[in-house]
Amino acid sequence: MDRPASALRRKSQVFVEIPPSPFLSSKTSSAHPRIQPETPLKAVTMNVDHVGPSSPTSNKPSNVLKRKSMGTGHDHQDAESAVQIKTKKQKFDSHGEEGAPGKKSKAKGSGQGTDAQEETVRCHQCTRQVAHDAAIHCSSLRPSGQQCVLKYCKACMRNRYQTEIEDLKAQGSTGITDDARKTHATQVPYVYRHVNALGAAAPATAGHVGKHRVFLRRAAKAEQTAATDDIDGAARRPAIIPKPKPLSPAKQVNATPSAGSNLRGKPKPHVLVPPSPLSRRKSDQTNAVVQKPTRRAARPKHDMVTKVTPRPTWTRMPTPMTHEDALQRLNIREFLLRFSHLADIARGHLEELEELGCKRFGSDDLDNDGPTASGAKLVAWISEPALKAILIGLLTLLSKDPDMEGDASALVKAVHSIKSSGVNLNKMWAALSSLRDDSSVLLPDPLPLATSGLRHSTRNAGQGPLRASTAVFATAQLVPIVDALVTRVVHTKAVREDFERAVAQEKELARAARELAANENARWKSASDADKGASRAAKRVARLAHQEALLTIEHALKIASAECMPRFAPLGRDTEGRVYYALTPGVVEREAAVDILEDGKGETNFGKRRGVADEAQRKRMRHWSWLLAVWGRRPEGAEVSQVARGEDVDEEEVEDPDAEGWWGFWQPEEVAKLSAWLGDQYGVNPGAKRLSKEPDDVAVIDVEGVQPRPQPSQRQGRAPSAGEATMPSRPGVRSFTSLNRESEDEEGSTAGSSDDEGENQNGQMRLNARGEPVPRKQDLKTLVKSIKEYADLLEWRIKRASKEAEGSKVDGQAAKGKGVQKDDAIPTQTFYGS
């Protein structure tokens, strides 16, 4: 027969009660209040053979024991007497020290524990056990009539609440009314209410912290409900909030803690929100729907006004030269200005190169369909003495070159023949023709002239009958011969050594410019410190003078560096095939720029060419170094200025403004407009700080139906720039610009190293439908920037030249007769007729 589970449980559990220690007396307990009194031990399971299913609540700690360990008052004693631990464990009687039955000894032990707990209490702030006298017990009564259980030690009251327990106990119930005394326990001789119960708005029966917080939450919720009341209701009424009961004066005295206590802030007073004036309710309807307020219509957004870039005015230049003819004269001018100290050419002859040619002579009535038919019309060039000096200088350089020792005698003979020819062009050509036959120097034939041009010149009448193909009556016919000599002179040893000298000279000029700028900045700093009390206008004038001085140094360095340039090239090419040229300043301005860098005045003395920078002279566009020249067709829809009367321009060209030709910009403002228009046209801004994500080596326009071609240059994989692509394509003709680019490896020059940026992966360049190279993004940026810099330089040059012209204006007005300056040479038709 199976035994019931209760019997098995009783046999498997044994309760052992340990009697109190005889060494721990009541005196020792009072002396050491922190010592815990002995308490009955829990049941220890022993000899467990069959353990039954444990209760789910058997492992939970007893709340009664926890409250006993923390120390309780009267309310805790009542709770402990009411709550008893119910268990089915069998209890065995044990005898105490005096041999009393188990129940009596247990009651005695519990009484000793109670006395020990009454002597020590646990602080509700720091949870430490302290002596009963060293703590204070809240005397307020709960709604149930029991005393509050909150107790605080002396240290917590002093540190956290800035209150001394002795002062509260010494005060007792002094100044407390009878009604207020009824809300406190009578078994304590003092009156103390905890700080959490000091809310002014809390009712007398609201309890302590918990109920007071509930009250505050309800009040806040009611306030929020009143502020956000539904506008669809019949009427908006403020939320009803229970008013807190005012405390009596005695309560206020007792409830007010000492200064500096950590009090809870009073709730903010409720502000009634009046109904919105936008929500109007109809008076004739009780349950009318409130109309939603209508918003005012927003102002219409203004349309984004895009800044229109001003379009430049395109002016046709008064020259009928083609691009090929003008490019030869440009190369000759730039080379002779660059190496004039080697060729020993006078300044007056070099100044004639400023006018590339405007007037045209000859006729086109020849029935010649060959390649020389275009030479029937020639554009006037320099004078015969200037041409003679140029030929003598170039031939002298060739005769002194070590590589031309075999042809030295023929070169010297040609030089003597030209010197003795006077200004006879036929004799000059005869000497050059003999040189071509007796040496290895290759020279082309002169340009042909129309037969009608023979009657315009009687200077060669005594030379006998000459063939029209070999007769030379104008300097313009010898332009190809001079260009060929320039190309040959570039290879001489003297020119190569001058390239190396130019590198050191350029560094010296840059160093001088830096020193001048540093001295000017130091002078400006000392002057500004000394003139702190000056007027604003005086400071502005001084600042402008300082900026002008720095600008003068910068532009002087640019002009002086023209003496050291390794090559001449156009500014660039745009996507429509237009090529932009800016010639370097003349000899007078270069010498003045070097004088400025040497800390001189840098005065410009143009001599006979005085007034070349005047507006009237620049408007004629005869001197190419004072304008920006463009070859190509004008843009579609561009503004074209009318050609001034009296200019020697064909009527066909005037009637057809869309034909290819030379366009000039002689005003600095128009040059700046051209730079801005190009930048806006191609979306490039060289002055922008933020870098574009688009790569610079890509073509701006797409090329359709054109295959790339490899470059014949020695440096494979190098794509030519826009300037190199504009060089002549005739075989055997190498200009000063193209030759210097190709000879970079030989000369060791680093000026053309920027061309490597255009290197393509396959070593080929892209061409458009006309066979012209397609510019890259970087090429267009360089073009826009160069044009803008040239506009600033041209404006500065005009100001410098105008100062010199103003100084001699009075002398020019008083001049008469031979003193009057002649702008143009007297044409031969005046003497010989047409």
pLDDT in tens, 74-98: 444 444 444 444 444 444 443 444 4
For the chain, how many residues are written?
A: 834
Which of 460, 333, 797, 401 lies closest to 604 in space, CA to CA? 797
Taking residues 728-736, what's their average pLDDT?
Answer: 40
pLDDT at position 195 is 66
Which of 36, 1, 43 lies closest to 18 in space, CA to CA? 43
Percentage of residues of the chain with pLDDT beyond 70:
53
36: left (phi over 0), alpha (psi -120 to 50) or beta: beta
**Residue 583 corresponds to which amino acid?**
L
pLDDT at position 273 is 65
> Within 344-424, where are the H helices?
347-351, 384-399, 408-419
Write out pLDDT tens, residues 548-593. Answer: 999 999 999 999 999 998 888 999 999 999 999 999 999 999 999 9
The DSSP-derived string for 216-285 is HHHHHHHHHHHHT--TTSSS--PPP-PPPPPPPHHHHHHH---TT--PPPPPPPP-PPPPPTTS---TT-
Q: Global pTM?
A: 0.56
pLDDT at position 218 is 64
**Residue 426 clears pLDDT 70, i.e. is over it:** yes
Cβ-in-10-Å burial (0-12, 13-18, 19+) of 413 comes to middle
The terminus-to-terminus CA distance of the chain in angstroms comes to: 160
Q: How are beta strands 313-316 and 661-665 bridged, if at all? A: antiparallel
**Tokens matching residue 594:** 């070097």
* Separation in Å, CA 654 to CA 357, 659, 768: 18, 9, 28
* Separation in Å, CA 777 to CA 70, 573, 695: 87, 11, 8
Number of Cβ atoms within 10 Å of the Cβ of 60 = 8
CB-based contact 124:151 (threshold 8 Å): yes
CB-based contact 578:630 (threshold 8 Å): yes
**Residue 231 clears pLDDT 70, i.e. is over it:** no
**CA 819 to chain CA mean position, Å:** 59
531-548 as b/e: b if 16+ CB within 10 A: eeeeeeeeeeeeeeebee
Determine the Cα–Cα distance for residues 823 and 622; give it in Å rounded to an integer: 10
Domain-wise residue ranges, the chain? 1-53+62-121, 123-225+238-266, 323-454+465-489, 574-583+605-819
User: Could you give the count of Cα atoms lying within 13 Å of 515 in the half-sphere of its Cβ?
Assistant: 10
pLDDT at position 693 is 52
Taking residues 783-804, what's their average pLDDT?
Answer: 90
Q: Collect all residues with Cβ–Cβ distance below 8 Å to 766 and sequence separation of at least 6.
A: 699, 703, 706, 708, 773, 774
Taking residues 357-386, what's their average pLDDT?
Answer: 62
pLDDT at position 725 is 35
Residue whose pair of structure tokens reads 């000459």 in the numeric block: 466
**Residue 702 clears pLDDT 60, i.e. is over it:** no
Partnered with residue 378 across adjacent β-strands are 361
More confidently predicted of 324 and 259: 324
**Residue 796 clears pLDDT 60, i.e. is over it:** yes
Q: How are beta strands 313-316 and 639-640 bridged, if at all? A: parallel
Write out pLDDT tens, residues 604-626. Answer: 777 667 778 888 889 999 999 99
CB-based contact 82:89 (threshold 8 Å): no
Determine the Cα–Cα distance for residues 125 and 282; give it in Å rounded to an integer: 61
Residue whose pair of structure tokens reads 């050419």 in the numeric block: 345
pLDDT at position 192 is 86
Angle at 195 between CA 190 and CA 199, to 5 degrees: 115
**Residue 411 clears pLDDT 90, i.e. is over it:** yes
CB-based contact 158:168 (threshold 8 Å): no
Write out pLDDT tens, residues 636-665. Answer: 888 888 665 444 455 444 556 678 899 999
User: Could you give the count of Cα atoms lying within 13 Å of 367 in the half-sphere of its Cβ?
Assistant: 0
pLDDT tier at 504, thresholds 50, 70, 90 = very high
pLDDT at position 807 is 54
Taking residues 230-252, what's their average pLDDT?
Answer: 49
* Separation in Å, CA 492 to CA 123, 281, 408, 485, 495: 110, 104, 13, 11, 6
Taking residues 150-178, what's their average pLDDT?
Answer: 86
Residue whose pair of structure tokens reads 């009539």 in the numeric block: 145
